[in-house]
Structure formats: structure tokens, C-alpha cells
Amino acid sequence: RYEDEIRLCSGMEFTFMELKKDLDVSTLHRTELEVKLKGLQELLELKKTIYEQELEELLTEIKDISVVLGIDSCSRPDLGRIVEDVRAQYEALALRSWEEAEALTRRKLTDSSSQPGSFGGHLLDSRREIADLNIRIQKLRSCIVSQKSQCLYLEEHIREAGEQGEGTLRDAKAKVAGLEEALQHSREHMAHLVRDYQELMNIKLALDVEILTYRKLMEGEESSMEQPIPTVISAVHSRPKPRK
């Protein structure tokens, strides 16, 4: 029985060493993930900066548009409707992007809240990132409101257009086409930002779950090794004698 206990202890020590090796590998993997996470954060910040700059350029371009055109009343196209369609598309894009980002942050906050207390630091970092994203969303909404007013300004100038001929009409259409192209570019950038943020949060959550799993395994093995073994010996003494 003593030899059995020795073999059992040796087996537990071997298992403990194997788990420790796995934990070392997990720690190395975590370091690699943290490096990747840092790179994604820097890339996300760079894309956000580029998006904000392009949005400011778009606002400046709209602000500088001053169209004065005149068309014969019987052949005048509905330019107001064109501008209204562009404005409606941009508002729909902004609303959809904001709703997606808000739903994503709310879901990540709920998932992070379910982690154990030992990972409170990661939860706090996630909440800070979510708060920062909410601030950026508010800034984007302010820019959208400003852009909406600029669209109204452009529409009013088109309605007050004078007699300037077909050349000015073509110029106005080109401006509207440029605005639509810039709108599509902004939509693509917003989609990239949301995807990058979701990938970043998925990496953080996967990392936390992996470390928690290994930690629980290590704690379970340590508690098993610390438990007294005499229970097996007492079971041997209490075994009934065989009948003759």
C-alpha cells in the first residue's frame, strides 16, 4: 500500500509538472497575443485618426460649395431631391454604424462582467476602451449633425439658384457625385473600425478564458497534492477478514 501511495504521489507530481509546462506555453502564447493586441490597438487608432481627418475634409468640402444655377422652369431637374437622397443615405449610415457599435460595446460589457473577480483588471481595461469608443461615437454623431446642416445649406442654395446655364448644373451634379463617393468611403472606414474593434475584444476575451482555465487546473492539482493520504491506509485496516 505504501508503494501504491508513492506511485500515486509520483503520478500527481508528474501531472503537476505537465500542467506547469502547459501553463508556461500558455504564458508565452499570452505574450504573443498581447503583442498582437497592441498592434491591433495601434492600427485601430490610426484608422480612427484617418477617418476623422477624412470626415473633416468632407465637411470642409461641403462648406465651400456655393452653387448658383438657373434652369428653364420646364426642364429644371429636382436637385433638391438628389441632395435629400444623399443626406438620407448618410443619416442611415450613421445611425446603423452607431447602433452596431453600441450593441457591440453593450455585448462586450456583459461578457466581461461575467468573468471572475481575479480578472478585474482586464474588465476595467475593457470598460475604459468601451467608454472611449462611446466618446468617439458621440463625436461622430456631432459631426453628422453638422454635416446635416451643411446639406440643408447646400439644398437652400440650389433652391435659390439663378440663371447660370447648363454648365453650372453639370458642376453641381459633379459636386453631388463627389459627395456620394466620399459617403461610400466613409461607410467602408466605419465598417473597418467596427470589425477591428470586435477582433480586438475577441482576443482579449479568449486570452482571459484560457488563463482562467489553466489557473483552475493548477489550483485543483495543488489542492489534491495537499490533501492527506491516510484514508487509504484506514480502509485497509477496516477490511473484513476472509471466511475460512
Query: For the segment 150-162, what is each residue's pLDDT rounded down to a tens digit?
Result: 767 777 776 666 5
Top mean pLDDT of 2-11, 51-60, 193-202 is at 193-202
Tell me what pLDDT residue 29 has.
74
Find the mean pLDDT for residues 67-89: 53
Tell me what pLDDT residue 179 has.
79
Contact 147, 59 (CB under 8 A): yes
The sign one gets for the Cα dihedral 164, 165, 171, 175 is positive
Tell me what pLDDT residue 104 has.
60
* Phi/psi-derived region of residue 150, left when phi > 0, alpha when psi is between -120 and 50, beta in every other case: alpha
Contact 62, 186 (CB under 8 A): no
Question: Among 3-7, 22-26, 110-114, which stretch is predicted with the lowest mean pLDDT?
Answer: 110-114
Find the mean pLDDT for residues 179-202: 79
Selection from 146, 133, 118, 129 nearest residue 216 by Cα: 118
Mean pLDDT (the chain) is: 66
Tell me what pLDDT residue 42 has.
76
Tell me what pLDDT residue 200 has.
81
Q: Angle CA(124)–CA(130)–CA(132) in degrees, nearest 5?
A: 105
**pTM for this prediction:** 0.29
Find the mean pLDDT for residues 69-80: 48
Question: Among 8-17, 110-119, 176-185, 201-210, which stretch is predicted with the lowest mean pLDDT?
Answer: 110-119
Question: 126: pLDDT confidence band, cut at 50, 70 and 90?
Answer: low
Find the mean pLDDT for residues 96-109: 60
Q: Is the pLDDT of residue 240 over 80?
A: no
Q: Is the pLDDT of residue 92 over 80?
A: no
Distance (Å, whole) CA 128 – CA 231: 51
Contact 196, 40 (CB under 8 A): yes
**What is the helix (H) or strand (E) element at residue 187, kind and residue range?**
helix 166-226
pLDDT tens readout for residues 10-63: 777 777 777 777 777 777 777 777 777 777 777 777 777 776 776 676 666 665
